[in-house]
Chains A and B, each alone.
Chain A
Amino acid sequence: MSGWVVERRPQPSRLWRWAAPPVALLATLAAGLVLFALLGHDPGAALTAYFITPVASLYGLGELGVKATPLVLIATGLALGFRAGVWNIGAEGQLIMGAIGAGLVALASWGLEGSWIFPTMLLAGTAFGILWALVPAELRVRLGVNEILVSLMLVYVADLLLKALVFGPLKDPEGFGFPQSRLFEEPALAPVILAGTRLHVGALFALLAVALAWWFTARTLQGFAWRVEGLAPRAARYAGFAEGRIVRYAFILSGGLAGLAGALEVAGPIGQLLPSVSPGYGFTAIIVAFLGRLHPLGVLLAGLVVALSYIGGENAQIEVGLPEAVTGVFQGLLLFFLLAAEFLVHYRIRRRERPPAPASSPNTAR
């Protein structure tokens, strides 16, 4: 029985806690190389097309910011909730509701002028996201219903609601029957902050959210209460931190940020309501939150990395002819390797010393 043994570490490894994400990233790249080679592409060229070319221009960097904005906004809220043991899996639905809220304001004010329109869209989007998130929150607090299931299922309700609106009442009357709304007008669009790119003001909101989330977690009593709730619910109750309140506010925060992200998507890069307003940002943000170690700064870095996987995938389709599915495969690999590396935080693999002589078979008289 010689060989390698896996054993639990006496204490979680600090080194691996921080090394796990970069190691997972490297392993993903290595797996990518093998994958490209097996698909019959030159791995070097494919990786360049995937990871280098997209960000080799100012426009490309702007695109990175455009994709990272919703991911970071949503993941920041989710990370705070996850640390409190509140499992909002339905950020995608809250994002869609945010898009609907913002879209309703934009279309209702269509043809009007005024600087109030864009801020009102953001407020409406945030409010819609919060309302959608309060459903699982209240069900959990009042009736003990599992918030994972409810928040997840509401994603599909929101998705169908958006489709019903875009195919029905909100359809562009001059749109030749295509299922899409009117194009938003100038006052309903997010201001671009970097000329020559599509990078919009939402990126600043994302940075602000990261900074505030860090301050909240590290410095405020409520942030402390959330962490205690996540680590030891009984200790939280003992300390006088009310669980119901924490659950509600965690959903309000993560739902609101997801709704804001949805509003910014339709006011920013999309500019109208479409049957689909998100390539799954709300779900991918879960990966981002964990890749970022549920830490606001980590979330920012992870958001950029995952955003690169989105635009890299698109670019690789165009330049090298890789299949579209490769983006999903990359994100899947990343999460897979991250979970695998996570294992090394709590366990270590060690070579077993030479096995001692076998036990003399004892007499078991009984």
Chain B
Amino acid sequence: MEMGAGRPPRLELCGITKRFPGVVANDSVDLTVRPGEIHALLGENGAGKSTLVKILYGVLRPDAGEIRFEGRPVVIRSPHDARRLGIGMVFQHFTLFEALDVAENIALGLEWWPGRRELARRLAQLAERYGLELDLARTVHDLSAGERQRIEILRCLLQEPKLLVLDEPTSVLTPQEADRLFVTLRRLAAEGRSILYISHRLEEVVELCHRATVLRAGRVVATVDPRAETPASLARLMVGDDVREPERRHPDLEAAPVRLRAHALSLPPDRPHAVALEEISLELRAGEILGIAGVAGNGQRELVEALAGERLLPQAGMLELMGEPVGRLGPAARRRLGLAVLPEERLGHAAVGAMDLVDNTLLTAWPQPGMVRHGTIRRRQVAALAATVVERFRVRTPGLEVPAAALSGGNLQRFVVGREIAQKPKVLVVDQPTWGVDAGAAAAIHRALVALAEEGAAVLLVSQDLDEILRFCDRVAVLYRGRLSAPMPVGEVTLERLGLLMGGAGFGTVRAETVS
């Protein structure tokens, strides 16, 4: 190939094998990354990508196989070893301390301490270069997923790595930010650095990467040039059969009844650094899928909590469900009126990791008739519903009595989405339903959402994935600093216009701070 000819590869993995009780996570994996190459690592959740990456970063040790770095065999015993070799890592699951602030978290990942002022200076430089803005004094606890990822990326770039491993880096960026990141990555590659790029967004891989290695069930099934492939062909390699995404035909919504109406919905923040919701108005009609786009941390979480009833609104009339004011009703009462909500965080919010699938079904199904009688749980009925969800949404699980935390991300997401849809909601609010799930699960979730809307339910899809919004939504509105733009039909909106709105253009000047 054209890159790095004559020089030894930056990284060679030869016959890497790693077994866990019951599974072979990596089965004789061979992988070569050349200097200056952007190399994609593809595979469904559970295909063995994370294991391979952890081996590369010294978190796990292979049972067999050899790692060569710049032509020499090396043993990577710890992340410290990996960093000394020049391997930088942005993990998919953030490795941050919630109680510490941004600067402290970045300092913890460094091998040296440049001093807070010097660090701030260098970070500011990097932030400008790569468009990753961050307030160093904020506590990680209060940051959104997107902002947390920016810390990880910056932390890595500070170390000027020879090989940079990125796990789903763009999932929380605006298209403009992602484009800027691609420019950065290309620049890094042009400097001779290598990049191992893990993403579920196959469009990105086709656009950005020079080569791609595809894993399925722990084995390498193909190494291809993605520039000669299509997203669909890559997806086929990953899952082994066709990933069927649904078609969305925009229905005529003029006559459809309004199912959910927010009327100047405002809610002050309930903790430091939370976003205040300011006069959000929207109408969601039966049969419609309305997309809420926006960069992470602009009030998505607050909006979803307010709609769910996790936080009550100051006035009942700020939110109407099926024509009734519900702003002062709790989650259960709203569910009984036909609302279902699925928050972004799967474990600890949408599901309880330590509880089995039957209990996790009960978690949101209990207000439905038949689940509870005189205060006692009718476990058989709940289990029947759980079994329906598992079967209908093809949740891969050894049984219903398995703790939710034991399911892979994609399977758990199938389960929680299925749990909500199986309750036949009249209004469904979902936040980031396909974040970090494999292509197969994402397609299944999209099919379910589209089918639900076709049956006449109203769907509110909060997502940072603009492809997802533009493909499946009828209208889209942008959330920026707690304010919502007017909804636009997706047919009349461009990616560029959305990106500008997501960056705050078009929201007018930021109003002067009110009384503090």
- List residues of chain A with CB under 8 Å of any chain B CB: 10-11, 219-222, 224, 227-228, 231-232, 234-235, 237-240, 242, 356-360, 362, 364-366
Q: 19 pairs across A/B with beta carbons < 8 Å?
A: A10-B20, A11-B403, A219-B377, A224-B362, A231-B353, A232-B352, A234-B345, A235-B348, A237-B331, A238-B331, A238-B363, A239-B332, A240-B309, A240-B367, A359-B74, A360-B72, A362-B72, A364-B86, A366-B160
Q: Are A224 and B377 in contact, CB atoms less than 8 angstroms apart?
A: yes
Q: Are B348 and A232 in contact, CB atoms less than 8 angstroms apart?
A: yes
Please, what's the 1-or-0 string for B342-353, where 1 marks a CB less than 8 Å from any CB in chain A?
Answer: 010101111111
- Residue from B76, B348, B364, B375 in contact with A234 in the complex, judged by beta carbons closer than 8 Å: B348
B390 to chain A, nearest CB (A): 20
Q: Are A364 and B310 in contact, CB atoms less than 8 angstroms apart?
A: no
Q: Which of A221, A232, A235, A360 neighbours the largest number of chain B CB atoms within 10 Å of its CB?
A: A235
Q: Which residues of A contact B366 (CB under 8 A)?
A: 221, 224, 239
- Name B4-20 residues within 8 Å CB distance of A: 20
Q: Is B207 an interface residue (CB 8 A)?
A: no
Q: Are A235 and B75 in contact, CB atoms less than 8 angstroms apart?
A: no
Q: Which residues of A contact B406 (CB under 8 A)?
A: 11
Closest to A361 in B: B84
Q: Which residues of A contact B352 (CB under 8 A)?
A: 228, 231-232, 235
Q: Which residues of B contact A231 (CB under 8 A)?
A: 352-355
- Name B371-412 residues within 8 Å CB distance of A: 372, 375-377, 403, 406
- Residue from A235, A360, A365 in contact with B351 in the complex, judged by beta carbons closer than 8 Å: A235
Q: Is B56 an interface residue (CB 8 A)?
A: no
Total of A-B residue pairs, C-beta within 8 Å: 91
Q: Is B69 an interface residue (CB 8 A)?
A: yes
Q: Which residues of B contact A240 (CB under 8 A)?
A: 309, 330-333, 335, 367
Knowing A235-B352, A235-B363, A366-B160 touch, does A357 contact B75 (C-beta < 8 A)? yes
Q: Is B308 an interface residue (CB 8 A)?
A: yes
- Residue from A221, A222, A359 in contact with B76 in the complex, judged by beta carbons closer than 8 Å: A359
Q: Is B21 an interface residue (CB 8 A)?
A: yes
User: B interface, how many residues as a size bin?
Assistant: 35 or more
A242 to B329, CA, bound (A): 12
Q: Is B135 an interface residue (CB 8 A)?
A: no
Q: Are A360 and B363 in contact, CB atoms less than 8 angstroms apart?
A: no
Q: Which residues of A contact B187 (CB under 8 A)?
A: none
Q: Are A222 and B375 in contact, CB atoms less than 8 angstroms apart?
A: yes
A2 to chain B, nearest CB (A): 13
Q: Are B86 and A362 in contact, CB atoms less than 8 angstroms apart?
A: yes
Q: Are B75 and A356 in contact, CB atoms less than 8 angstroms apart?
A: yes
Closest to A235 in B: B352
Q: Is B77 an interface residue (CB 8 A)?
A: yes
Q: Which residues of B contact A362 (CB under 8 A)?
A: 69-70, 72, 74, 84-86
Q: Are B330 and A359 in contact, CB atoms less than 8 angstroms apart?
A: no
A364 to B86, CA, bound (A): 7
Closest 3 CB pairs of A and B: A240-B331, A240-B332, A362-B85
Q: Are B331 and A220 in contact, CB atoms less than 8 angstroms apart?
A: no
Please, what's the 1-or-0 string for B290-330, where 1 marks a CB less than 8 Å from any CB in chain A?
Answer: 00000000000000000011100000000000000000001
Q: Are A360 and B372 in contact, CB atoms less than 8 angstroms apart?
A: no
Q: Which residues of A contact B364 (CB under 8 A)?
A: 238-239
Closest to A357 in B: B75
Q: Which of A220, A231, A359 neighbours the largest number of chain B CB atoms within 10 Å of its CB?
A: A359
Knowing A11-B406, A219-B376, A364-B84 touch, does A239 contact B331 (C-beta < 8 A)? yes
A358 to B74, CA, bound (A): 8
Q: Are A242 and B330 in contact, CB atoms less than 8 angstroms apart?
A: yes
Q: Which residues of A contact B376 (CB under 8 A)?
A: 219-221
Closest to B334 in A: A240
A238 to B349, CA, bound (A): 7
Q: Are A224 and B349 in contact, CB atoms less than 8 angstroms apart?
A: no
B77 to chain A, nearest CB (A): 7
A360 to B333, CA, bound (A): 64
Q: Which residues of B contact A360 (CB under 8 A)?
A: 72-74
Q: A221-B366, A231-B353 given; name 20 further pairs at CB < 8 Å.
A: A10-B21, A219-B377, A221-B375, A221-B377, A228-B363, A232-B349, A234-B345, A235-B348, A235-B349, A235-B363, A238-B308, A238-B341, A356-B75, A358-B75, A359-B77, A359-B85, A360-B73, A364-B85, A364-B86, A366-B160
Closest to A228 in B: B352
- Residue from B343, B355, B367, B375 in contact with A238 in the complex, judged by beta carbons closer than 8 Å: B343
Knowing A228-B355, A359-B74, A360-B74 touch, does A238 contact B350 (C-beta < 8 A)? yes
Q: Which residues of B contact A220 (CB under 8 A)?
A: 375-377
B306 to chain A, nearest CB (A): 13
Please, what's the 1-or-0 string for B76-94, where 1 marks a CB less than 8 Å from any CB in chain A?
Answer: 1100010011100000000
Q: Which residues of A contact B20 (CB under 8 A)?
A: 10
Q: Which residues of A contact B160 (CB under 8 A)?
A: 366
Q: Is B359 an interface residue (CB 8 A)?
A: yes
Q: Which residues of B contact A365 (CB under 8 A)?
A: 86
A137 to B10, CA, bound (A): 61
Q: Which residues of B contact A221 (CB under 8 A)?
A: 366, 372, 375-377
A35 to B72, CA, bound (A): 58
Q: Which residues of B contact A232 (CB under 8 A)?
A: 347-349, 352-353
Q: Which residues of B contact A237 (CB under 8 A)?
A: 310, 331
Q: Which residues of B contact A222 (CB under 8 A)?
A: 375
Closest to B351 in A: A235
Q: Which residues of A contact B61 (CB under 8 A)?
A: 356
A220 to B309, CA, bound (A): 23
Q: Which residues of B contact A11 (CB under 8 A)?
A: 403, 406
Q: Are B75 and A359 in contact, CB atoms less than 8 angstroms apart?
A: yes
Q: Which residues of A contact B354 (CB under 8 A)?
A: 231
Closest to A356 in B: B75
B128 to chain A, nearest CB (A): 21
A231 to B364, CA, bound (A): 16
Q: Which residues of A contact B332 (CB under 8 A)?
A: 239-240
A359 to B364, CA, bound (A): 52
A364 to B367, CA, bound (A): 60
Closest to A219 in B: B376
Closest to A366 in B: B160
Q: Which of A220, A232, A234, A366 neighbours the largest number of chain B CB atoms within 10 Å of its CB?
A: A232
Q: Which residues of B contact A364 (CB under 8 A)?
A: 84-86
